[in-house]
Structure 1
Amino acid sequence: MGVNELSLIGVAIAVGLGAALLPVFVNAEVYVVAMGATVNSRPFLALLILIHVVATTIGKAFVFQLARRGTNKIRMIEPHPPRNAVSAWFRRIGQRLSRTRFFRWIKRINDWLLSLLDRPYSGGLTAFMSSLIGIPPLAIVTILAGASKQPQWVFLTTVFTGRLIQFLAIAFLLHKVSWF
């Protein structure tokens, strides 16, 4: 293994941890797409994806423990009034979209999945769906799961499995990576 491969492994670990801790600034899915465009070896790309998923899961375990030790109550915050005409326009558009049938269906599924987090083992379904398709967002699910009764091993197992399937599917569809 050369310096290039070791540096790609280090970047996979750094981006995985960064995506778990700062999901607004570091996107794990975009990294998988970019990684596939720069790596020529398909087996090495699959290995990088596996390392990236492990790093992401370790970062989510850290956030889970912070939420578990930090608070047991999540409070709702009232939205502030819009500061300017542009933000008021975006808010009106969002309110119109939220009244459509599709978004009401997504909201019902989202609310149902989040209600499962109160149950110790069926909350794993929420973590799996969140890590696989992103509904509800995994950053929110991680914090709520840490504050709930969900066992950490269930959460981490489902997050690892969902992220691995998602990233391998991205790599397979865009870069023809497979285990065979």
Structure 2
Amino acid sequence: MLTVIGLLSTTFGVSVASALLPLISIELFAIGLVLKGPEIPWWLLAVVIATGQIGGKLLHYYAARGAIRLPKFFRRKSENERRGRWRQWLERFRSNCQQRPVWTGAVLLVSATASLPPFAAVAVVAGWAKVPLSTFLITGFVGRFVRFGALAIAPGAIIAWL
């Protein structure tokens, strides 16, 4: 049987992996851990998962910023691919992020909490839009903490309610 430290370390690893690979569900892992694992404080579980998620999303953020060089497979091949409606939308979004930092923080916070729009996509766009790292880290961590704190509390709350 794994110790609490071992479970938290595994949880951290799974949360980083799920931040990088959308096929891995940290939500299902966390619910399973809460239902079958030893008594881990909800806030500690939320901190570990939020830290791992933000750590993984930072790779997306830095890659979009150009700080991490991606393999050729992920890079654009020509200047023509950078034009069009999508590019115009991204340029407007970048401008909005720079002109309205409170709006930017709110979008990041809502996305990190509710995953609408998906936080993986918002992390990439935030990096591309050059959202300040502190804004990304703080709003992302707080949103993820709230999301996974609620998830960790939910099974116990439902059982107590029934």
Q: TM tier, shorter chain?
A: 0.7 to 0.9
Could you list the runs of 5+ residues in structure 1 that have no partner in the other structure?
78-110
TM-score (norm 1): 0.66
Residue by residue over 1:91-147, the C-alpha shift from the partner in whole angstroms, topping out at 9 and shown as x without a partner, is xxxxxxxxxxxxxxxxxxxx9xx9478413231211111111111111111111110
Match of 1:40 in 2: 38
Residue 167 (structure 1) shift: 0.9
Measured in 1, the distance between the counterparts of 2:152 and 2:94 equals 30
Residue by residue over 1:138-164, the C-alpha shift from the partner in whole angstroms, topping out at 9 and shown as x without a partner, is 111111111003111101111110111
Counterpart residue identity of residue 13, structure 1: F
- Kindly tell me: are residues 76 and 37 of structure 1, through their superposed partners in 2, closer, same or farther at Cα, counting changes over 3 Å? farther
Match of 1:119 in 2: 97
Pick aligned residue for 1:165 from 146, 152, 157: 146
TM-score (norm 2): 0.72
Q: Name the Cα RMSD after superposition.
A: 2.9
Contact preservation (8 Å) 1:67, 1:143? yes
Residue 55 (structure 1) shift: 1.1
Number of aligned residue pairs: 138
Identity %: 25
Residue 76 (structure 1) shift: 8.3
Could you list the runs of 5+ residues in structure 2 that have no partner in the other structure?
70-74, 158-162
- Kindly tell me: are residues 117 and 150 of structure 1, through their superposed partners in 2, closer, same or farther at Cα, counting changes over 3 Å? farther
User: Is 1:20 matched with 2:19?
Assistant: yes
Residue by residue over 1:29-70, the C-alpha shift from the partner in whole angstroms, topping out at 9 and shown as x without a partner, is 222211111223142x43122111111111111221111116
Contact preservation (8 Å) 2:18, 2:24? yes
- Which runs of structure 1 show a deviation greater than 6 angstroms over 4 or more consecutive aligned residues? none
